[in-house]
Structure 1
C-alpha cells in the first residue's frame, strides 16, 4: 500500500512541477498558435481557384485531410522550437501523437478503406508513433535486429521481416489507392481529348508501378546499383525478344498523341480490312466491321502502312450511284426529276441553305452501246453501308421515279442481219 501511495505522491509532484513550470505554458502557447495557424491556412487553401473548377473541387474534397496534415507539420516544427528555447517538448510530443491519430483517421475516411486495413493502420500508429516520440524506437529496432536467422549467405532478422511486412503492405496499398485516384482524376479532365486522357493515364500507371517497385526494393534492402547493371543486360535481351511488342507500344503512344485515329472513326487499311474504331489501346486497335466482328489490328500497322480514315476531319462523305436511260429520253428533264427524288431521302444532305457543290447532282457519265450512262452524286453524314445503306435506297428510289414517268431503262440489244443465199461465198 505504501508503494502505491509513494507512486501517487510522485505523480502528483510531477503534475505540480509541470503546472508550475514556465516551459509548460510556452509549449501550450506554441501548440495553440500552431493549431490556429493550420486552421487559417487550411481554410484559405480551400478557397483557391474559382468556384466549380477542378482545383477547387479537389481542394474541397481534401479539406478533411489538409487540416490535420498542416496541424501535425506545424506542431512538429513547434516542438523543435520549444526544445531549442526552453529545453522541453513533452507536451508538444503528446499533441503530435493525437494529431497523427487524427491524420490517420482522416486518411481512412477519405480513402474508404476496409475495416481490416483501418484496424492495421490504427494499430501501427499506436505502436510506432509513441515509441518514436519517447525516443525508444531505435532501442526496440536494435533489439529486433539482433534476433536473426542465417541460412548460408542469407541473414534474416525479425526487424527486417517486420519492416517488409508493414512497410511493404503499406506501400502497395498506397500505390493502389494512388493509382485509382490518379486515373479517375485524369479521366475527369474534360478539357483534354479522350485519347490524351487515356495515354496520360497509362503513362501515370506505368510510372507509379515503377516507383512502387523501386521503393519496395529499397525496403527489401536490395542494392539498386547492382540491379541496374543486371537490368541493363536483361533489357538488351528483352529488347530483341519483345521488339514487336515495344514497336506496337510506341506506335500506340504516337497514334494517341498525333490524333490520326479516334474512337468512332471509320478506317480502311491497306490489306482491305475496314470498320469503326471501337477501342484504342497501347498494343492494338479494335475495328468493328459491318458484320459485327471485331478485328484487332496491331498499332504498328497504322504507322508503317497507309490507311484511309473516312471520318478523320469530316463525317460527311460523297458517294455516287450509276444508272442508264434510253437515248430517246429527255435528259435535262430526267436529271431534274432524279435530283429531286434523291434530295427527298432523309439521310441525303440537301436544301437551299446547302452549298450548291454539296447538293445532289445528276450528270452524264458516258454514251453506252444501249443507252446513256448517268450517275448521281450526293453527300451524307456517315458511311454508306452497315446501318445506313443509303445507296440501296437511292437505287430503288431512282428505279421507281423512272418507271413512274415512263422513262425506259435500256438493256443490251443486238441486231442480226441475214444475208441472201446468192451473196454467200461460192463453195469450192
Structure 2
C-alpha cells in the first residue's frame, strides 16, 4: 500500500467512524486508568518506583493502563463499525507508555547523567514520529523504503531498517535490563543482603550478566549470527591483555575490594595522605569524600597494591592524629599531659577509647610526640575537631613555656652563609716579606 492509498483509507475511516462514541470510550478509559492507578498508590503509599512515580500521573503505569483499555475498546468497537480516533489514541498512548517507561528508568538509574538526558530526547522524538506515521497508516511504506536502502559491510550488506531495528531493540533491552536490576536490588538484595559492600558486589555481577544476555538476545532478534562474535571476543581478549590491562586490573580490583571487605562503603580511610569517607566503590575507581566536601577519585588497583589506612573501627569510631616535635630538654610528662588535656577539652572527642600520647621518636633536634583521639560522628567533619585540638595544644605549650623544635640545619645554613659572605667582603691582608707574618704596622 502506497502513501496515497493509506491516506485515502484513513480519510474514509474518519468519515464513517462515530467520533462521539470513540471520544466517550477514550474518556471512560482515561477515568478507569486514573482510578486504578490512584488506588494502587493509596495501597502502597508514597513511592518513587518506575510504574507508580511520585504522583498519580507521573508513573509509567497510568499510560500503560490507559493504552490497554483503549486497545480493548478498539478491538470490540472495530467488530461493528470502522474506528479512527481509537486507532490514533492507541498509537499515541503506546509511544507515551514507552517514553514514560524509558525516562523513569533512566532517571532512576542515572539521576545526574547528561548522556542519559540526551538519549531520552532522541528516543522521545523517534517514538512520537513512529506514532504519527502509524496513525496516518504510512508506517508500512516508510519501513519498506528503509528496507530497500542497503549499507555494504565487507562482503555482506545490511539494510537501513535492520540497523535501526537493531539499535532500537538493543536500547530498549538495556533499559529493560536496568529496570530489572533495580527491581531485583529493591525487592531482594535490600532485604536479604544487609552488608552494603556485598550488596554492591551482587548488584554489579547481576547487572553485568543481564546486560550481556540482553545484548545477545537483541542481536539474535535482528538476525545477527552470534557465532560471528567469537572473532570479536578474541580481539577483546587481546585488547584486555595489552592495551586495556589497567582497566581490567581496576575492574577486578574493585570486585576484590568488595568481596574481601577489607574496605567497605562508609569506612573512613587515608590513601596517599588524603583522608575521607568511602562514598562509592565503582567498577574502575573508588570515591573518597573528605570532611570539607572535596572528593578524591582513587583507582581500585591502588587500594590493592598500595598502603591504605582504615581509620574506621567496626563501631564507626574515627581516629584522628596530631604529631608535634618539641625541644630535647622538654619535660616528657608535662608535654603528654598538655596534649591529653587539649583532646579531652573537646566535646566531640569520645572517652572510650581514651585519647593517648606516644613518644614516637627521639630525633637529633627534638622529641616527637603523636596524639591519637577518636570521634564517633565523622559525618559532621573532622577538620574542625583537629583544628580545635591543635589550637588548645598550642595555647598549652605557650603557657608552659615549651617550644617546638626546629631542625638544626635550618638554623646553621643562614649563619654559615652570612659568615662566608662577611669573609668575602673583608680586604685581604698585605703579603709578608721573606715569609714573615705581618705585624700590622706600616
Whole-angstrom distance in 2 between the partners of 1:266 and 1:402: 35
Q: Are residue 97 (structure 1) and residue 88 (structure 2) matched?
A: yes
Larger Cα-atom Rg: 1
Q: Are residue 267 (structure 1) and residue 270 (structure 2) matched?
A: yes
What pairs with 1:25-36 in structure 2 (closer than 5 Å)? none
Whole-angstrom distance in 2 between the partners of 1:55 and 1:116: 20
Match of 1:400 among 398, 404, 419: 398
Q: Are residue 379 (structure 1) and residue 385 (structure 2) matched?
A: no
Distance 1:75 1:91, change over 3 A: farther
Note the C-alpha offset of 1:70: 1.5
Whole-angstrom distance in 1 between the partners of 2:352 and 2:153: 87
Unaligned runs of 5+ in 2: 1-7, 104-116, 406-442
Per the alignment, residue 53 of structure 2 pairs with 58
What pairs with 1:199-348 in structure 2 (closer than 5 Å)? 210=212, 213-214=215-216, 217-218=219-220, 221-224=223-226, 226-241=227-242, 242-256=244-258, 258=261, 260-262=263-265, 265-267=268-270, 273-277=272-276, 280-285=281-286, 298-303=299-304, 307-311=308-312, 313-317=316-320, 339=337, 341-342=338-339, 345=342, 348=344
Q: Are residue 124 (structure 1) and residue 130 (structure 2) matched?
A: yes
Note the C-alpha offset of 1:299: 1.9
Distance 1:274 1:193, change over 3 A: farther
Q: Secondary structure at the match of 2:224?
A: coil
Q: Secondary structure at the match of 2:46?
A: coil
Whole-angstrom distance in 2 between the partners of 1:214 and 1:262: 33
Whole-angstrom distance in 1 between the partners of 2:178 and 2:353: 51
Per the alignment, residue 412 of structure 1 pairs with none
Contact 1:349 1:358 in 2 (8 A): no
Q: Secondary structure at the match of 2:283?
A: coil
In the TM superposition, what whole-angstrom CA distance separates every residue of 1:150-203 from its partner, at most 9, and x where no partner exists?
A: 8995345xxx323534x45655776898899999999999x9999789878877
Per the alignment, residue 37 of structure 2 pairs with 42
Whole-angstrom distance in 2 between the partners of 1:398 and 1:31: 81
Whole-angstrom distance in 1 between the partners of 2:256 and 2:167: 36
Distance 1:323 1:29, change over 3 A: closer
Note the C-alpha offset of 1:246: 2.3
**More displaced 10-residue stretch of structure 1: 236-245 or 42-51:** 236-245
RMSD, matched Cα: 6.3
Match of 1:73 among 50, 64, 68: 68
Whole-angstrom distance in 2 between the partners of 1:215 and 1:38: 32
Contact 2:321 2:370 in 1 (8 A): no
Note the C-alpha offset of 1:260: 0.8
Distance 1:354 1:264, change over 3 A: closer
Q: Secondary structure at the match of 1:316?
A: strand
What pairs with 1:97-176 in structure 2 (closer than 5 Å)? 97-105=88-96, 111=103, 120-129=126-135, 131=137, 137=140, 153-155=155-157, 160-165=159-164, 167=165, 170=168
Unaligned runs of 5+ in 1: 1-6, 20-24, 410-428
Normalising by structure 2, report the TM-score.
0.52
Whole-angstrom distance in 1 between the partners of 2:150 and 2:49: 51
Distance 1:396 1:177, change over 3 A: same
Distance 1:93 1:204, change over 3 A: farther
Q: Secondary structure at the match of 1:51?
A: coil
Q: Secondary structure at the match of 1:162?
A: helix
**More displaced 10-residue stretch of structure 1: 31-40 or 41-50:** 31-40
Whole-angstrom distance in 2 between the partners of 1:56 and 1:274: 46
